[in-house]
């Protein structure tokens, strides 16, 4: 081994009978600790006010992300806005395009194509699995980043208002997608859903 290689790995010096290790590559504890934290975050996720745990959704598996909003409007009006393509397009956040395939009526079996090209770029198809008028809509993600996951919209009358609940159960496949979800997509998703609910509330409550 050459002198340069020796110095690269370790330089043994005998001094007063003690062997000292000098020029030994020092590890950087802060970076190691950060790497471990990132790895844990990617694999197991982190809690936010939108991450919930409920036995009701255990059957779907995955992380439950949920947003709720109390809107001063009847369930039927809100349901109508969400299930009519032209009305839905008016409340989608900037850079979000949603189309129904085939066109209305909104019913089980139809496909919903979503394309996001603003905060981040994603595209996927969902299939409507269940529709209970003015009460519940359930969709399954068929492809894209959320493939295998589930989206649920629920409508509950509270006096003269309606509590709208949007829930997605996500289970990103593979380390890279888990990392992407934990570090970026979850946060962006939360912002976009809150913007969507802001728009839904404004249009629903408009006289």
pLDDT, position 170: 94
* Cα separation, 60 vs 109, whole angstroms: 19
| Among 11-25, 91-105, 153-167, the least confident range | 11-25
* Cα separation, 100 vs 202, whole angstroms: 23
What integer is the mean pLDDT of 46-53? 76
Angle in degrees, CA 149, 74, 197, rounded to 5: 45
Q: What are phi and psi of 159, to 5 degrees?
A: 65, -125
Q: Where are the domains of the chain?
A: 1-44, 52-205
pTM of the model: 0.77
Helices (H), 14-84: 29-44, 75-83
pLDDT tens string 104-160: 789 999 999 999 987 678 899 999 999 999 999 999 999 999 999 999 999 999 999
Q: Are 96 and 118 in contact (CB under 8 A)?
A: yes
Is pLDDT at 9 greater than 90 in this prediction?
Answer: no
What integer is the mean pLDDT of 84-108? 91
Is pLDDT at 60 greater than 50 in this prediction?
Answer: yes
Confidence of residue 203 (pLDDT cuts 50, 70, 90): very high
pLDDT tens string 62-79: 999 999 999 999 999 999
For 73-138, give the DSSP string. S-HHHHHHHHHSHHHHHHHSPTTEEEEEES-SSP-TT-EEEEEEESSSEEEEEEEEEEEETTTEEE
The larger pLDDT score, comparing residue 4 to residue 84, is at 84
The larger pLDDT score, comparing residue 34 to residue 96, is at 96
pLDDT, position 8: 42
Is pLDDT at 10 greater than 50 in this prediction?
Answer: no
Residue from 127, 81, 77, 134 nearest 107 by CA: 127
CATH code of the domain occupying 52-205:
3.30.530.20
Is pLDDT at 11 greater than 70 in this prediction?
Answer: no
Burial (CB count within 10 angstroms: exposed 0-12, middle 13-18, buried 19+), residue 172: buried
pLDDT tens string 18-27: 544 444 455 5
């Amino acid at each position: 081994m050459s002198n340069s290689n020796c110095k690269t790995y370790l330089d043994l010096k005998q001094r007063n009978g003690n062997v000292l290790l000098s020029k030994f590559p020092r590890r950087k504890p802060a970076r190691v600790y950060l790497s471990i934290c990132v790895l844990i975050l990617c694999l197991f996720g982190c809690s936010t006010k939108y991450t919930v745990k409920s036995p009701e959704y255990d059957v779907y598996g995955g992380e439950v992300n949920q947003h709720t909003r109390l809107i001063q409007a009847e369930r039927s009006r809100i349901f109508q806005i969400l299930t009519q393509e032209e009305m839905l397009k008016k409340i989608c956040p900037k850079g979000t395009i949603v189309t129904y395939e085939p066109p209305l009526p909104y019913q089980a079996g139809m496909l919903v194509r979503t394309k996001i090209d603003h905060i981040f770029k994603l595209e996927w198809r969902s299939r409507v699995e269940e529709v209970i008028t003015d009460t519940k809509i359930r969709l399954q993600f068929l492809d894209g980043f959320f493939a295998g996951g589930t989206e649920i919209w629920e409508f509950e009358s509270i006096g003269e208002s309606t509590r709208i609940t949007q829930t997605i159960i996500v289970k990103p496949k593979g380390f890279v997608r888990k990392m992407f979800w934990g570090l970026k997509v979850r946060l962006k998703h939360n912002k976009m859903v809150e913007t969507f609910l802001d728009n839904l509330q404004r249009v629903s409550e408009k006289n």
